[in-house]
A and B are shown apart, each in its own frame.
Chain A
Amino acid sequence: MNFLQRVTKNSKRIMRMKPAAMVPSASVRKLLPAGKWSEGKAMERLARLCNAVLDNLGDQQVLGAAYDGHKALKFAKNPAVWVGPDGGKTWRRFSAPLEYLQLEAMLTASPTGLGDVRDQGLEILDLSELEICDWKGGLVSPQVARIVLLAPSWRPSASGDPEKYFGLVLDFDQRLMDAKTAVAFMDVLANSLLEETYA
């Protein structure tokens, strides 16, 4: 896919990029300890993260919401997420927990690599393989939030030994949430990743 195709594909998004559509977005970053969830391939890790997000979206419906027209919020009955592995080269929508093999199959299904045209729903972007250690992104209506997984680094754990930590960033609409709410969601997400086992 060349650049022209991409721009054409994203033209709707670019046209939407008017001042009125820009969302006052904030980003908070937390550390996510590596563990069982992060073992294996990058795709496997991403699949576990997506499943954990989908599991917890029921309690945090605001994150799965989207702006509908002028400043009105719309809540989806079955919240979906948009997944962008490899730094968002392709985007896929999914709304039910999947195994990583299924996810991999979904992501490589399209021979052109065009993926789906992103629409409403929470975005999950994987930058961990690209060695990106910090991220701040803007949000454009109807987006309300975005989750980004960053590259790992070494830091001391509670016991004092060095341990690997991933960076987890949540971009969110500042009008809709305080930092505290966003952080609470990230804590819930981290806990469910560390405590529960995802396929």
Chain B
Amino acid sequence: MRTFEISFWDRDDPSLSAMLDERVDMLAGLRVPNFAAGANLKMTAPMDELNRWRKNRKHPLGITASVAAALRWALESDGLFASLFDGRDNLLVPDNPSIGVGVDAGNAARIMVVSGEEYSDPLDLADKIEASKRDIPTITPVPFSPGSKEKASNFAKRKRWAKMVKQELQERFDYLLPPLQKRRFDTWASQRGHIQLHNLGTHGVQEFKGLLRRPWVSMLWVLEKDEIVSPGDSGEFVSSPVLPLILVYAQELIPVDRACTFLSKVVEALTDPKCLEDRR
């Protein structure tokens, strides 16, 4: 007789299901109909001037906060990138877009939303992000080791099953009624912002490829600082620090050149951060 070595965890495992439950909304949003054909554009911004500027300020800024300010500044010239789909294929462009900043919290990233209504000035927004960065409670990751393999009780299993079914039915039902669908999509903006900014530089990530889903139209990712060697003015090769940025945008909606213009606007603000102050 053959022996079987099939033992595995499924979502009824208590520790795994706790993690998955946290992501239930995420899972629902990541179904195929919600995917957008997201294209990724990468550009680098020189950091010399940026470093000098952000450290010499009265309240020094971190990289994330500086990029958030530049992003807010670029959104003033093109608000399309912060628009949201309302769930019925209509595109809504907000006057004062909120920016969601991704914060690492164990297994799932938490989004800190800075309201665009309250902080409409890029520098105010940056100061707010810098100030509240440390207030986000970090959650210790769920420990996964072979030792945590335990069986869930039948009651817990049934309870979880009922919860999942309820959520799934609710979602299907919402889709039929425009007001409910609209309400559901409205919550996205307050929970995750009109446009999201994530900084992966703290994890040492040097290249990234992201995806996009409705209702968002674009996302900005910041990677680890890089050194670029290029010929200088006198013909000598010089090394200069650059900040790689990746813009993920809805390719079916936004033309490539418009995305390039937007990303170069962010890069422009980071190259010469004085322009953020000049506008005051």
Q: Which residues of A contact B (CB under 8 A)?
A: 3, 6-7, 10, 13-14, 17, 19, 22, 84, 86-89, 125, 127, 130-140, 153-154, 162
Contacts and interface: CB of A to CB of B under 8 A. Distances in A.
B169 interface: no
A139 B252 CA distance: 10
Interface string B132-143: 000000000000
Contact of B37 (A87, A88, A134, A140): A140
Interface in B248-262: 251-253, 255-258, 260
B237 interface: yes
A74 to B, nearest CB: 22
Nearest to A167: B42
A133 B244 CA distance: 10
A89 B260 CA distance: 11
B204 interface: no
B35 A127 contact: no
Nearest to B257: A87
A19 B42 contact: no
Interface of B: 32-33, 35-44, 80, 207, 209, 228-231, 237, 246, 251-253, 255-258, 260, 263-264
24 contacts: A3-B80, A10-B252, A10-B255, A13-B252, A14-B252, A19-B32, A22-B37, A87-B257, A87-B260, A88-B255, A89-B257, A127-B41, A130-B264, A132-B42, A133-B44, A134-B207, A135-B40, A137-B39, A138-B39, A138-B251, A139-B37, A140-B252, A154-B230, A162-B229
B35 A134 contact: no
Contacts of B252: 10, 13-14, 17, 140
A98 B28 CA distance: 50
Contacts of B32: 19
Contacts of B42: 132-135
Contact of B257 (A10, A86, A134): A86
A100 B256 CA distance: 23
Contacts of B229: 154, 162
Contacts of A133: 42-44
B243 to A, nearest CB: 13
A135 B41 contact: yes
B256 A87 contact: yes
8 nearest A-B pairs in the assembled complex, by CB-CB distance: A134-B42, A138-B37, A87-B257, A88-B256, A17-B252, A137-B39, A136-B40, A130-B260
A10 B255 CA distance: 9
Nearest to B211: A138
A160 to B, nearest CB: 13
A89 B255 CA distance: 7
Contacts of B41: 127, 132, 134-135
A104 B97 CA distance: 40
Given A3-B80, A136-B39, A138-B37, A84 B256 contact: yes
Given A133-B42, A136-B40, A154-B230, A22 B35 contact: yes
Given A134-B40, A138-B37, A162-B237, 7 more contacts: A10-B252, A17-B37, A19-B33, A89-B257, A130-B264, A131-B264, A136-B39
A20 to B, nearest CB: 9
A84 B258 CA distance: 13
Given A7-B253, A130-B264, A138-B251, A154 B40 contact: no
A8 to B, nearest CB: 12
Given A154-B229, A162-B237, A135 B39 contact: yes
Contact of A131 (B33, B43, B230, B255): B43
A140 B37 CA distance: 8
A169 B80 CA distance: 27
Contacts of A136: 39-40, 209
A14 B260 contact: no
A137 B35 CA distance: 14
A163 to B, nearest CB: 12
